[in-house]
Amino acid sequence: MDEGPTARLRRVERGIEEQLRQLAEMGELSNVPGEGAPLSDDDPSAGDGWAARHIAKNANVTPEFVELRREIADRRDRLVRRLRAHRSWLADRAALLDDLPAERILDAARATADFDLRFDSELRSGVGELNALVAQHNLKVPLGLQIPPLTLELLRDRD
């Protein structure tokens, strides 16, 4: 026979109360802060905060600023990886230029410089997009949780 949700809840509550009674009899709840004090009903908002966290957790809801923070971290990591790969490519390219015949060096150097300029433009664009997300994030959080914008210099120094 399928029991209703109210009957199941009462059964669970009785089980919890029995476990708490057994723990108290064994002395496991001794010296706990607030021991013996009644639960306070003075703070009407205390239950609201717990309820909001409980509902959000059970519904698997994540605040928008947390998602933005993850997106910012992912984009920053991608920018750092691209910058490292580009630096490695530049080093390989410099080694290649050292081994090229004289008549091909000028064309290869121009191609390398052009690609480097395009990469720099893409990097600036990526940093701008990232900083737009940072600004959006910072509008949604208190001052202590805000993220400083990323600069090209900071990105290049961290790499």
Residues 6+ apart with CB under 8 A from 115: none
DSSP state of 36: T
Residue-level pLDDT at 6: 78
How far is it, in rounded angstroms, from Cα 129 to Cα 120? 14
Q: What is the pLDDT of residue 3?
A: 67
Q: At 40, is the pLDDT very low, low, confident or very high (cuts 50, 70, 90)?
A: low
CA-nearest of 144, 134, 157, 125 to 70 is 134
Q: pLDDT value at position 83?
A: 95
Q: What is the mean pLDDT of residues 4-26?
A: 82
pLDDT bracket for residue 110 (50, 70, 90): very high
User: Residue 36: left if φ>0, alpha if ψ -120 to 50, beta else—which one?
Assistant: left
Output phi, psi for 144, to 5 deg: -65, -20
Chain mean pLDDT for the chain = 85
Distance between CA atoms of 117 and 115, rounded to whole angstroms? 5
